[in-house]
Amino acid sequence: MASTTAPTVVPQSGAERASRSGIWVGIFAITMSFMAFSSALFVRQGSLDWGHLVLPSILYLNTLLLLASSGTFELSRRHLEFHTAGRVGSSGAGVAWLLATLALGIAFCAGQYAAWQNLRAQGIYLATNPNSSFFYVLTFIHVLHVTAGIVAFVYLLGRLTMGSRLARRSFFDNTAIYWHFMGVLWLYLLLLCRIKL
C-alpha cells in the first residue's frame, strides 16, 4: 500500500461545513422518502392480492458488489494526499481504487438491470402484483440515487487526473458518506423486499 501523508490541519471553511451538513440533510430527506415508500408497502402488504415474489439471485451478487465498492472507495481515500486549503490529490493507487469503485458502482446498476430482465423473463412486470410494483419502484429509485454517486465518482476522477489534479477534500468525504449510505439503504431495501411482515 502506498504511504499516506498526514493530513494538514486546515480549519474547515463555512462552505465546507455547510456541504457536510447538506449531505446529512440530503440523506435524511432520502431516508424519509424511503420511509414513505416503506409505510405504503406495509399498508399494501395487508391486502389479499399481495403475491410472494422470489427475488432473482443476482441481487445477492449485486449486494456484494455495492458493499465492495464502499471498501474500494475507502481504500482510495486512504491514498489521499492532503494539500492546503482543503484540497486533496491522490496517488496512482488511489485513482486506481477510485476507478474500481466506479466500475463496481456501474456493475451494480447493470446487475440491477439484469434482475429486472430476469423478472420480466418470468412474466413479472411492474403491474403484475403489488409486490413486483414495489420491487421495481424501490430498486429503480435506488439505482437513480446510486447514479448520482457514480456521477460524483466521474467528477472526482476528472479532478484527480486532469488539470491541477486536485479535488476538494470535503467533496471526497461527502461522496464517501453518500456512497456508504447507498449501501446501507440497499441492504434495507433488500430486506424489505425479501421479508413479509
147 contacts another protein (rule: CB under 8 A) = no
Helix (H, G, I), strand (E, B) or coil at 79: coil
- Between CA 103 and CA 84 the distance in angstroms is 30
196 contacts another protein (rule: CB under 8 A) = no
The residues with which 90 forms a beta bridge, in sequence order, are 80
Cell of 157: 476522477
- Between CA 169 and CA 20 the distance in angstroms is 11
Give min distance, CB of 17 to another protein, in A. 4
9 contacts another protein (rule: CB under 8 A) = no
- Between CA 99 and CA 104 the distance in angstroms is 9
Nearer to another protein, 3 or 47 (CB): 47
30 contacts another protein (rule: CB under 8 A) = yes
164 contacts another protein (rule: CB under 8 A) = no
Of residues 62-121, those binding another protein (CB under 8 A) = none
Which of 133, 161, 165, 166 binds another protein (CB under 8 A)? It is 133
Element holding 89 (H helix, E strand): strand 87-90
151 contacts another protein (rule: CB under 8 A) = no
Ranges of H-type helices in the chain: 14-45, 58-78, 92-121, 130-161, 169-194
Q: Which residues bind another protein (CB under 8 A)?
A: 12-15, 17-22, 25-26, 28-30, 32-37, 39-40, 43-44, 47-50, 126-127, 130, 133, 137, 141
